[in-house]
Amino acid sequence: MICYNLICVQEHEFEGWFASSSDYDDQSKSGLLVCAICGSTKVEKAIMAPAVKTARKIEARSIEAAKAMTAVAAKIREEIGKNCDNVGADFAEEARAIHYGEKPSRGIYGSVTPEDSSALKEEGIAASPLPDAFVPDVAKPKLN
C-alpha cells in the first residue's frame, strides 16, 4: 500500500491509499478519485507533502522572528547610542569615577579588558557586558 497526498480542483487536500502507483494511475484515469470534501473528481497528486509545507512554515516563522529580533536590537542600539556616552577604552576609569561620586551619574558604554571587568565586579560597580547586537554602531571597531 502507498499513500499519496491528493488535492482536488478546489485545493482540498486529503490522503489516498493505493495498492501501487499503477493502481493510482488506473483510478485517476477512470475518474474514480473523488475529493472527500467536495466530491470533485478533478483530483491529482499534491505537489508538496505536508512535511515539506510544515518545514516551510517553520522557516517563514523563524525569518519573521529573526526580523523582529533585529528590529528590537536596532531600537536598543539606538536608545543606548542616544542616552549613553561612548567612553571607549576609558570605561573602567569612568565607571569608577561615577561609582565613587567623582562624576555625575550617567549611562556609559565602552570597552574593558577582562582584568578591568573582574576588578569592577569585585568593587561592586554595576557594569554588564553588552550583547554585540546591542552595541551602538559608532562603538564598533571599523573593519579594514
Binding site for Zn ion (CB under 5 A): 8, 10, 12, 35, 37-38, 40
Compute the least distance from the CB of residue 29 to Zn ion, in Å. 19
Burial class (CB in 10 A: 0-12, 13-18, 19+), 14: middle
Distance in angstroms (rounded) separating the CA atoms of residues 66 and 89? 31
Nearer to Zn ion, 11 or 79 (CB): 11
3-class SS at 85?
A: strand
Q: How many CA atoms within 13 Å lie on the side-chain side of 111? A: 9
All three cell numbers of 77, joined, read 542600539
Nearer to Zn ion, 32 or 58 (CB): 32
Compute the least distance from the CB of residue 82 to Zn ion, in Å. 57
Residue 5 β-bridge partners: 15
Compute the least distance from the CB of residue 8 to Zn ion, in Å. 3
CA 45 to chain centre: 33
Compute the least distance from the CB of residue 130 to Zn ion, in Å. 55
Nearer to Zn ion, 13 or 116 (CB): 13
Nearer to Zn ion, 5 or 86 (CB): 5
